[in-house]
Amino acid sequence: MKSFVEYSGETDFPIENLPYGVFTSAKNVNKHIGVAIGEWILDLNIIAHLFDGPLMKDKQNVFKEENLNAFMGLTKPHWIEARETLQKLLDKSNPTIQNDKDLRERAFVKQSEAQMHVPADIGDYTDFYSSIHHATNVGIMFRGKDNALLDNWKYLPVGYHGRSSSIVISGTPITRPLGQTLPVEGAAPHFGPCRLMDFELEMAAFVGGPPTKLGERVTAQEAGDRIFGFVLMNDWSARDIQKWEYIPLGPFTAKNLGTTISPWIVTIEALRPFVTDNFPQEPEPFPYLKHDDKFNFDIKLEVDITPEKTPVATTVCRSNYRYMYWTVKQQLAQQTVTGCNLRPGDLLGSGTISGETSDSFGSMLELAWKGTKPIRLLNGEERKFIQDGDTVTLRGYCENEGVKIGFGKCEGKLLPAVPLE
Amino acid sequence: MKSFVEYSGETDFPIENLPYGVFTSAKNVNKHIGVAIGEWILDLNIIAHLFDGPLMKDKQNVFKEENLNAFMGLTKPHWIEARETLQKLLDKSNPTIQNDKDLRERAFVKQSEAQMHVPADIGDYTDFYSSIHHATNVGIMFRGKDNALLDNWKYLPVGYHGRSSSIVISGTPITRPLGQTLPVEGAAPHFGPCRLMDFELEMAAFVGGPPTKLGERVTAQEAGDRIFGFVLMNDWSARDIQKWEYIPLGPFTAKNLGTTISPWIVTIEALRPFVTDNFPQEPEPFPYLKHDDKFNFDIKLEVDITPEKTPVATTVCRSNYRYMYWTVKQQLAQQTVTGCNLRPGDLLGSGTISGETSDSFGSMLELAWKGTKPIRLLNGEERKFIQDGDTVTLRGYCENEGVKIGFGKCEGKLLPAVPLE
Ligand SMILES: [Ca+2]
Ligand SMILES: [Ca+2]
Ligand SMILES: [Mg+2]
Ligand SMILES: [Mg+2]
Ligand code: NI
């Protein structure tokens, strides 16, 4: 496959990728749906009429929307056909857009001249806790080696409902929060700026397919048709606030201060060549959590920290999505087992993705092991947690002989706390 | 105040109430906004042009919407003016609607001929845990009398983010969920129908005012302008599923199986005559949680259980919203303290509202004290938890010399579990 759009071999967005996003530009203040190719965005609002396949020809209007919910709300065969149409239209041999100068000029926007937006109206956002190395690390730190994994962890994908309003697009600054913490066990709590500000390296899946009804389950076996694609996600976490507030109902204000996602949704079809073995599961899961296909992906993940004053990026973590113990199909099955209804555009966070080695842990809490092993940055500074002015950048990509499928970046800068008036 | 609309002295909806809701009817399949008066609904879509006050005359379009989000997104002075306009238009002395036969016939719909809907697009739903008697009861049952209240409980309103997709309107049946439970401590978990299905008697507040920005706080002192009104809420809870899944991230599938709300939003202005002392708080809360006005309300609450076969309603609980330790202003301040942004239409659940006496507890867990003190129903049956076919009905009202402000009912029937295919 070769496109008439030229791009370098290093691009995250070759014709084999074609991730979906929502953008505005100086020329176009209304949100349009686009796909990334090389350094360009192909504006689907402008070329909606070219989706002439048997399924999409009556659904072209979904590309006139300001978000991806309507397209996500169609079915997997629609998504596959749309992808085939896009690959055909962008192919070197196809004249439709290539040779129509007027259309071509209207249909392509430089990514550098576009502003990206949260690509869907996220009705509900769920965050899981499905990396075994992460759960084990946290367990060892807080309960010791012998009780590291809690009793339920290997029986079900533990998760909780998060705050959808606070999901923001890459590039949005995050403010260090104020909140209650308990600096001295047994003493009175303290109110002030969070002192243990952390990132969490996660990926998140957008749910697709028509809405389900309350009371309806989606088993793991059925869940494949309902995963539209993935983005990178940084679940910013105020560790000291979380520790004081989370008993017994879970994380609340420690996580609703902002969750950053990358703008381009990489589809399952684009990821399919990078499918890999599921993590071995013992004990065997209950039937509703079982699926017989591979649904794990070899996605390399990295986290950089770039301080404000000497802006040199240090890669502090190299992990991989394949370390997930529970698949996203199992996560969706768990979420719906009691009858929770789904809407297209729902978001499922993977949970912090940590590998086995100490340089592959997906949070500062683990990387600096509760502050006991500070991370040295390339500019000579040390970090136990995130400092004011630090930019945290997540990157992800799949790679095999010659093809790279990238996620772009998921970035945010931490601004200093704003005192209470 | 006396309306030209006639109603009995027992009605929940006199001219002093005027709660907002969203309805459809045989005549009108599109969702319209209405207010309840006596046995009628006044259709605000039809009379939007009559809102001619200085603030609302340019905002009449909010009553042409299919939900209340746009109206909620205005400001408290708008809400107050709209209420004054409605009371004026409905007054016995006012001819505008009363004497216009055509308008009158189009503008009034019988409640018995209408179908009610969830009145807002609920962007995010939060549930709290703010009744001291409830938290103490649960604590005694699971941790003993000496450690009943957890350390953080009196320092902050404990809460968690819930599932907005699964919020349904009164009358919607709820299906007994399947899920994992741990019948024998230390043994393997079991998968099957929930055996400890419960209700939670709650009230829920709709958030109003323009959206806030991520990073912005709303202190308790500022929160008054952001509470639009209240509904009744039944937070259906699968106790055995909750117990197994909730460590360490809180309730998840035990609560996302359905949450029922009553259809009529009773505004803060209607509740104002029933304001009562805030619950005494010791220790003194942090400044962001303090407000100097009374924002607690004397709202009588009742729960009935009606079995399917011998359908006699038994009132199993008589409680009161006034038992809340934390006010809704404090709940909102807590939710936003780290910078969580708000959108009009957000919903805040109070948490289960239990009084001091054993007949005022707001859940079966407490009423039957973990199954040790079964409740006797009027038809001779006993209940430890909710059984298949039971209808659970919540009611709420305020009353003083001659005026009753009611909430209508919040009702749902529990259907039997649907086995896994
Ligand atoms: Ca997380
Ligand atoms: Ca509750
Ligand atoms: Mg977050
Ligand atoms: Mg619920
Ligand atoms: Ni929404």
Phi, psi of A87 (to 5 degrees): -65, -35
Q: Are B198 and B371 in contact (CB under 8 A)?
A: no
CB B71 within 8 Å of CB B56: no
* pLDDT recorded at residue A401: 85
For residue B143, pLDDT over 90 is answered with no
What distance in Å separates the CA atoms of residue A262 and residue A357, rounded to the nearest whole number? 26
Backbone phi and psi for residue B237, each to the nearest 5 degrees, phi listed first: -135, 130
The whole-number pLDDT of residue B27 equals: 87
Percentage of residues in chain A with pLDDT exceeding 70? Answer: 100
Q: Residue A78: enclosing H or E segment and its boundaries?
A: helix A76-90
Ligand-binding annotation for B87, yes or no, is no
Q: Does A127 count as an annotated binding residue?
A: yes
- Report the distance separating Cα A294 and Cα A317, nearest Å: 26
3-state secondary structure of A245: helix
B245/A346 CB distance under 8 A: no
Of residues A117, A134, A161, A190, which has the active-site annotation?
A134
- Asked whether residue A226 is marked as a ligand-binding residue, the answer is no
Contacts of B124 in chain A (CB under 8 A): 163-165
Query: Residue B321 in contact with residue B344, Cβ under 8 Å?
Result: no
Nearest to B163 among A155, A161, A238 (CB): A161
How many helices (H) and strands (E) chain B has is answered by 9, 26
- Enumerate residues 208 to 237 of chain B having a beta carbon within 8 A of any beta carbon in chain A: 214-215, 217, 219
Buried b (16+ CB within 10 A) or exposed e, B376-413: ebeeebebbbbbeebbbbbbbbbeeeebbbbbbbbbbb
Contact indicator for A37, A18 with CB cutoff of 8 Å: yes
The answer to whether B412 and B234 have CB atoms below 8 angstroms apart is: yes
Which residue in the block uniquely carries the two structure tokens 């949070």? A363
Per residue in B314-372, pLDDT tens? 999 999 999 999 999 999 999 999 999 999 999 999 999 999 999 999 999 999 999 99
| Residues β-bridged to residue B157 | none
Cα B112 from chain centroid (whole Å): 21
CA-CA distance, B361 to B201, in Å (whole number)? 9
pLDDT at residue B194 is higher than 90: yes
Instruction: Measure CA A159 to chain center.
Output: 16
CA of A245 to the centre of ligand 3 (A): 15
Q: How far apart are CA B276 and CA B222, in angstroms?
A: 19
Give the residue carrying structure tokens 């409605």: B86
Give the containing element (helix H, strand E) for A45: helix A44-47
Mean pLDDT of all residues in B205-233 = 98
Going by their DSSP bridges, the two strands B32-37 and B20-25 should be labelled as: antiparallel
Looking at the complex, report in whole angstroms how far the Cα of residue A177 sits from the nearest Cα belonging to chain B: 5
The answer to pTM > 0.95 is: yes
Which residues does chain B have within 8 Å of residue A340's beta carbon, measured at their own beta carbons? 163, 165-166, 253, 256-257
On chain A, the residues whose CB falls within 8 A of the CB of B219 are: 420
Residue A395 annotated in ligand binding? no
Mean pLDDT of B182-195: 96
In the numeric block, which tokens belong to residue A271? 């990821």
B419 touches chain A (CB under 8 A): no
Mutate to test the interface with B, among A195, A337, A347, A413 (most CBs of B within 10 A): A337
Inter-chain touch B160–A155, beta carbons under 8 Å: no
- The beta-strand segments (E) located in B200-328 are 201-207, 227-234, 237-238, 259-261, 266-267, 275-276, 296-297, 300-306, 314-320
Across the interface, whether the CB atoms of B238 and A338 are under 8 A apart is answered: yes
- Eight-state DSSP code of residue B281: -
Tell me how far the alpha carbon of residue B115 lies from the centroid of ligand 2, in angstroms.
Answer: 26
Residue of chain A with shortest Cα separation from B172? A214
Question: In chain A, which residues have their Cβ closer than 8 Å to the Cβ of B346?
Answer: 165
- Our CA angle for B119, B124, B126, nearest 5°, is 100
ipTM for the predicted complex comes to: 0.96
**A22-36: average pLDDT:** 96
The two three-digit tokens of residue A371, written as one number: 């502050």
Cβ-in-10-Å burial (0-12, 13-18, 19+) of B419 comes to exposed
| B194 to chain A, closest Cα gap in Å | 9
Question: HSE (CB half, 13 Å, CA atoms) of A238?
Answer: 32
For residue B421, what pLDDT is reported? Answer: 79
- The average confidence (pLDDT) of chain A is 97
